[in-house]
Amino acid sequence: MAISLKISQNIKSFFLEIGELSFFAIRFFKEAFTKPFEFKELLRQCYNMGNRSILLVGVTGFILGLVFTLQSRPTLLEFGAVAWMPSMVSISIVREIGPVIIALICAGKISSGIGAELGSMRVTEQIDAMEVSGTNPFKYLVVTRVVAATLMLPLLIVFGDTIALIGSALIEYLKGEVSFLLYFNKVVKALKFSDVLPATAKSFFFGFAIGLVGSFKGYYCKKGTMGVGEASNSAVVYASMLLFIIDFIAVFVSDIFFEI
Amino acid sequence: MKKYNNIQSVLKIRELRKSFGDNHVLNGFSLDLYEGENLVIMGKSGSGKSVMIKCLVGLLFPDSGKIEIMGNDIADLKQVDMNILRMQIGFLFQGSALYDSMTVRENLEFPLRKHKEMYEKKDELVVETLESVGLLSAIDLMPEELSGGMKRRVALARALILKPKIIIYDEPTTGLDPITAKEIIQLMRAIQEKYNTSSLIITHDIDCARVISNRMILLIDGVNYAEGTFNELANSTDKKIKAFFK
Ligand SMILES: Nc1ncnc2c1ncn2[C@@H]1O[C@H](COP(=O)(O)OP(=O)(O)OP(=O)(O)O)[C@@H](O)[C@H]1O
Ligand SMILES: [Mg+2]
């Protein structure tokens, strides 16, 4: 009895949370398109996010490319299809693995960062202080961060994909003596518009989700230092979950438009 | 927005009520703050002092009651007008609430952003205000590099930079050693004389109240339980009042 009560409470609070997040998103759209715009702060946030994540994304991408190529080589060799390596790697990385892995990494880095930053600003009354000094904190803190994440994620993903392909090309060069030029020639030939467009489109949504969830958790952080930790932690969890849901929807939709 | 003409009370609260669930914090609190005076509010921890001043500046919405700031009923104000009104009010937060991603200079510039004429001469203003709290040397430091007392002074400078008509201090001396606390009190008096502001001061600190108050209000059980000068209240025979002056 007690357990079922607890479960039903958890389910209830989960749906409540989704409702609140939706209101938060609606408020974002309302405030994002009304003056005044905080361009300077937006640029600063873009720079910060890019700057803080680029190394992580680069390293992850490089290893991803290396490992992926090393793992698939034996199988492709067996079928005598190793010449297909560039096309296979590029399509799977650009379409799916790259965006999802890099978005997950960024959920860990950016979403939790925003959650902790806004959370501690809430707890130490800095957000109240902004409000009192006549600046709209939602615009200044939330809108800038969500927009920055939405703009920066696609760039980070393109960067990460490129590094991953360089990693893969390196293996091919070392193991199969395929030159970089030949490798990338094949990559360019293999990639179609219908591979690149949906991937890029969904990475904007990934960025939006990462920024939104982080801001939501931080902005409504509960008081106390416990609250800050919880905000940053649950920001990562919810953002990661949302990424997979978006990915599922994106694949579904692109399947309709560009039949695979 | 109405201009305040000849209204002596710059800030008026009537029958303010605010509850959080079953926690009835304010049960009909009223006060008047007159021009140029220092009004001290005392009350036990958790009695709703911070809640009351947050209602004043629109950070919390009261359940009922009336709040007038310089003749404007804040319930009728649009967000834009509320923000204009907020520029006339300096607010010193209990925990200083400095923006910790910004330097001291940027912290002080922040309230100026929405004020075109003042923003143009922001450099002078920042220097002048920091000088008046004696911290010009800290201008390029980050808040984390400051001591608690320095933070409080920077926060005070930030509250002052728009030259507000009203300043609200939420426990300006709490958490400071007696000497630093005295310095802050001196500073508050100096500011009051220099800019002729009206101040609403929340404090537990009986010394602070003695030195600075023209008038005091005791907030007990969510209402203004007693009102008078420091000496009047200190000599009261009421048990609840006496408890504050032990
Ligand atoms: N946002 C809030 N949500 C729920 N309850 C709150 C909120 N803010 C304050 N309270 C409650 O209101 C009561 C009064 O809090 P308040 O912060 O005004 O006390 P205070 O008089 O300022 O005390 P202190 O001297 O310790 O600062 C407390 O019981 C507190 O739990
Ligand atoms: Mg308080």
Residue B103: pLDDT above 70?
yes
Whether B87 and A134 lie within 8 Å, measured CB to CB: yes
* Rounded Cα distance, A161 and A90, in Å: 8
Are residues A167 and A161 in contact, defined by beta-carbon separation less than 8 angstroms?
Answer: no
- Residue type at position B165: K
Residue B76: pLDDT above 90?
no
Question: How distant is the Cα of B101 from the closest Cα of chain A, in angstroms?
Answer: 9
Query: What is the ipTM for the molecules in this complex?
Result: 0.88
| Residue at token pair 């003042």 | B118
What confidence tens digit (pLDDT) does each residue in B115-142 have? 888 888 889 999 999 988 888 898 999 9
* Rounded Cα distance, A174 and A9, in Å: 57
Is the bond preceding residue A36 a cis peptide, omega within 30 degrees?
Answer: yes
Residue B216, strand partner residues: B40, B228
pLDDT for res A226: 85
pLDDT for res A259: 66
Mean pLDDT, residues A182-197 taken together? 89
Cα–chain center distance at A38: 23
What confidence tens digit (pLDDT) does each residue in A51-87 have? 999 999 999 999 999 999 999 999 988 988 888 888 9
Mean pLDDT, residues A158-180 taken together? 92
| Closest CA in chain B for residue A125 | B97
Give, rounded to a whole angstrom, the gap between the first and last alpha carbons of chain B: 45
Protein residues with CB under 6 Å of any ligand 1 atom: B 20, 23, 25, 43, 45-51, 94
Mean per-residue pLDDT over chain A, rounded: 91
| Closest CA in chain B for residue A44 | B101
What CATH code would you report for B9-241? 3.40.50.300
What confidence tens digit (pLDDT) does each residue in A110-129 have? 999 999 999 999 999 999 99
Chain A residues whose CB is inside 8 A of the B113 CB are 135
Alpha carbon separation from B38 to A118, A224, B31, B165, B191 (Å, rounded)? 35, 32, 13, 12, 12
Q: What DSSP line would sit under B83-102, residue for residue?
A: HHHHTTEEEE-TT----TTS
Could you say which of A120, A126, A134 has the minimum Cβ distance to residue B86? A134
| Closest CA in chain A for residue B88 | A133
What confidence tens digit (pLDDT) does each residue in B161-209 have? 988 989 999 998 888 888 888 888 988 888 888 888 899 999 888 888 8
Whose C-alpha lies nearest to ligand 1, atom 5? Answer: B20
Residue A203: pLDDT above 70?
yes
Residue B52 Cα: closest atom of ligand 1: 18
Percent of chain A with pLDDT over 70: 99
